[in-house]
Amino acid sequence: MNLVEKIKKLKEEKNVVILAHYYVEGEVQDVADYVGDSYFLAKKAVETDAQAILFCGVEFMGESAKILNPEKTVLMPEPEADCPMAHMANIVRIKHVREEYDDVAVVCYINSTAELKQFSDVCVTSSNAMKIVKNLPQKNIYFIPDENLGRYIATQVPEKNFIFNDGFCHVHKGISKEDIEKARELHPNAKVLVHPECRLEICDMADYIGSTSGIIDFAHQDDSQEFIICTERGVLHKLQNDNPDKSFYLVNNHQTCPNMKKITLEKVCSTLEQFNHVVEMDEFDRKKALHPLEKMLELAK
């Protein structure tokens, strides 16, 4: 029995659903029951009937699954896989903003720690942030932790007053205008698809701006045969599998999240065997972090 067969056998025996983000390695995506972006996986975590969830992603994803499913066992195959941006905001600053602005909503990107969620009004993902922010009653929006996504959403919802935080994703921030110019020289017929965690000057060069799932859908539906991809390279697995006759190009050698790549088939199998690396959370903290996630799921319908 090879490793993939062993994983399939174990997950069936132990009633485990495997969720995987698009940024993990392709072979890990292939053993998952569901593969998607943060919003899709949050919904699947709520909908599943399985007794346990094995989350192939970074720490905040496992935390969110546990917050939404306290009765389920949530497993992380690599507990050291963390998202630096998830920590790039602080509670003191949130309190100061609330004191300074009367009519303010703290909008927290789901790519954040459970602690930050506890002090927020609503969570968002890159696929639903625009819709949710537009429908909030508050005039002022404190967007945490990602500055670039916040600035992009601000251009789409000009009626709101945004207060920005200085967090960022190093993969998306690392994409430069020169990278795209060079890629366009090499592939003049290719359309540029950009994730809104990139800087605004990069978004301005895009033919399409959207979440990871949005990029995948656009590439599949569009008539173009070539695409320049401005997000983490793990998305190429889905793009190439769904569109074998189309070509996809990265813009630099740094479009890799090292934390997502820590998750391997061996670690998935070992976690299923030992049922270890369980996500634990204080119940009081969980309930506080639950409200903004539930509000996201409600407002994003």
- Asked, colleague to colleague, whether 3-81+260-281 and 175-250 share their fold, the answer is yes
pLDDT at 113: 96
What is d(CA 23, CA 237) in angstroms, rounded to the nearest whole number? 9
Confidence of residue 39 (pLDDT cuts 50, 70, 90): confident
Average pLDDT, the chain: 96
Name the phi and psi angles at 239, rounded to 5.
Answer: -60, -45
pLDDT at 38: 83
Confidence of residue 117 (pLDDT cuts 50, 70, 90): very high
CB 281 within 8 A of CB 41: no
Summarize pLDDT for 128-156 with one digit per residue, the tens: 999 999 999 999 999 999 999 999 999 99
Summarize pLDDT for 203-233 with one digit per residue, the tens: 999 999 999 999 999 999 999 999 999 999 9
Q: Per the CATH hierarchy, to which homologous superfamily does domain 85-168+289-299 belong? A: NadA-like (3.40.50.10800)
What is d(CA 216, CA 253) in angstroms, rounded to the nearest whole number? 21
pLDDT at 43: 86
pLDDT at 137: 96
Summarize pLDDT for 271-282 with one digit per residue, the tens: 999 999 999 999
CB 246 within 8 A of CB 225: yes
Q: Where do the domains of the chain lie? A: 3-81+260-281, 85-168+289-299, 175-250
What is d(CA 47, CA 19) in angstroms, rounded to the nearest whole number? 12
Of 33-47, 120-134, 178-192, 254-268, which range is least confident? 33-47
Summarize pLDDT for 64-115 with one digit per residue, the tens: 999 999 999 999 999 999 999 999 999 999 999 999 999 999 999 999 999 9
Q: Under CATH, which number does the domain 3-81+260-281 receive?
A: 3.40.50.10800
Q: Per the CATH hierarchy, to which homologous superfamily does domain 175-250 belong? A: NadA-like (3.40.50.10800)
- The 10 Å CB-count burial string (b at 16+, else e) for 137-165 is ebebbbbbbbbbbbbbbbeebeebebbbb
Confidence of residue 42 (pLDDT cuts 50, 70, 90): confident
